[in-house]
Amino acid sequence: MIRIREIWQNVKVGAKFHQLTVIGQQFRLHTGKPKPAWACVVQCTCGTFKVVYAADLVRGFQKSCGCHRLYVLRVLGRRTTHGESKTPLHNLWHLIKLRCTDPNQKSYPNYGGRGISVHPEWSESYESFRDYVRDRGYLQGLTRSISSLEEENPC
């Protein structure tokens, strides 16, 4: 019975794994772990050279230098609608929707439980919420708009 370790220890120069071709002899790569790992230098079909673990080649974990993923993203297009999913304003919109619609939320009884709902246009689209709020002077970190602050302090 051949063990997998014997297979990756014997990866030959010229062997092809998906888009990677082995171009250098294997060597032991000391990474600070108890046992060093077998690694080799490979060349991708795009021309990039890279050092990879031989075990990752044999198991199919390393298929390219990373160019294939970029190619797929370019061909299929990025699957983003607005690109603001991690912003504070998007989080605010998401939390507003949750406390008005999700009975499992802690603050649901104070909002959705009392019949408070999100405007239908806002519940469907973050962009409409974002545009409405920004047109009325939203600034990150403030709980009130600039216009209400100016009315209180007319300096």
**13 & 55 share domain:** yes
| Buried b / exposed e along 71-91 (16+ C-beta atoms within 10 A) | eeeeeeeeeeeeeeeeeeebe
From residue 146, how far is each of 122, 129, 136, 149 by CA, in Å?
22, 18, 8, 5
Token pair for 122: 């806002």
Residues in the chain, pLDDT under 50: 145-146, 149, 155
Token pair for 43: 């060349």
Do 145 and 136 contact (CB within 8 A), yes or no? yes
Q: Give pTM, 2 decimals.
A: 0.46
DSSP letter (8 states) at residue 93: H
Token pair for 105: 């939320």
Q: Is the dihedral of CA 124, 130, 131, 137 positive or negative?
A: positive
pLDDT digits (tens, 9 = 90+) for 44-85: 999 999 999 888 888 888 989 888 877 777 777 666 677 788
Tell me, yes or no, whether 143 lies in a domain. no
**13 & 67 share domain:** yes
Packing angle, helices 88-101 and 126-135, rounded to 10: 110
- Residues spanned by the domain of 40: 4-76
Number of domains in the chain: 2
Tell me, yes or no, whether 12 lies in a domain. yes
Which amino acid would we find at residue 118? V
End-to-end Cα distance, the chain: 85
Tell me, yes or no, whether 152 lies in a domain. no
**98 & 71 share domain:** no
